[in-house]
Amino acid sequence: MIATLEGTLEHCGIDSAVIKVGGVGIQVYVPSLTLSRLGVIGDKVSLYTHLYVKEDNISLYGFASNEEVALFKNLISISGIGPRVALALLSKLSAEQLATAIISGNVALIQQVPGIGKKMANRLVVELRDKLEREWKEAALPLAPEDSDAIAALTSLGYSLREVAQVVSSIPNSSELSLEEKVKTALQELATK
């Protein structure tokens, strides 16, 4: 099993990169969020990987963290979700955003990913919620479903899920605030920490 890959970035495509390792160019499928952070051609890169083996397909998938690999494995364990759909999910949403959406039952956020309908989004929530609550302990904070969009917006700005969840859940009368007001209030609170 190939667990990590380190080498020189040779080529970047739409959903993959070629990394030269010991004179061999290896094609690795990578979520677009990770692909955008790999750097420029010639840079040294390091990825956590998952080797996907099927009767007619052997592919290598690369990720920025162990958490992304674990979430990818959980996603492809669901019937009807193959590696391409899992890659699309992790391309549109960061691992923290996706885990938060699944744990909080935010089907609408999951449906924003091209190719994911309401039925599939609901299946992800039903089949993965309990497992992700155990694995993503920091994401398992008590989150109100109406706060998940604000949490996703703030984690996309680089704040950790734990600090964002704590701040958003402590906003008084948050159910009466719009998404923009919640984010603005949370950013003000995060700036003072």
At 192 the pLDDT is 79
Q: Are the beta carbons of 66 and 93 closer than 8 angstroms? A: no
Instruction: Please state the pTM of the whole predicted model.
Output: 0.73
At 142 the pLDDT is 52
- What tokens does 17 get? 């990169």
Q: In whole angstroms, give the CA distance from residue 7 to residue 21.
A: 5
Q: Are the beta carbons of 154 and 168 closer than 8 angstroms? A: yes
Domain definitions of the chain by residue range: 1-64, 141-191
At 143 the pLDDT is 58
Q: From 48, 53, 45, 55, select the one nearest 71 (Cα to Cα).
A: 48
Q: Which residues pair with 18 in a beta bridge?
A: 11, 27
- Per-residue pLDDT of the chain (193 residues), as tens digits, is 788 999 999 999 999 999 999 999 999 999 998 988 898 999 999 999 999 998 888 999 999 998 899 999 999 999 889 999 999 999 988 888 888 888 878 888 888 888 899 999 999 999 998 888 887 765 445 556 667 777 777 877 777 766 777 787 777 766 778 888 888 888 888 887 6
At 174 the pLDDT is 66
Q: In whole angstroms, give the CA distance from residue 47 to residue 50.
A: 10
| DSSP label of 14 | S
At 25 the pLDDT is 95
CATH level 3 topology of 1-64: OB fold (Dihydrolipoamide Acetyltransferase, E2P) (2.40.50)
φ/ψ of 26, rounded to 5, equals: -115, 125
Give the DSSP per-residue string, 117-180. -HHHHHHHHHHHHHHHHHH-GGGGS---GGGHHHHHHHHTTT--HHHHHHHHHTSTTGGGS-HH
CA 4 to chain centre: 18
At 100 the pLDDT is 83
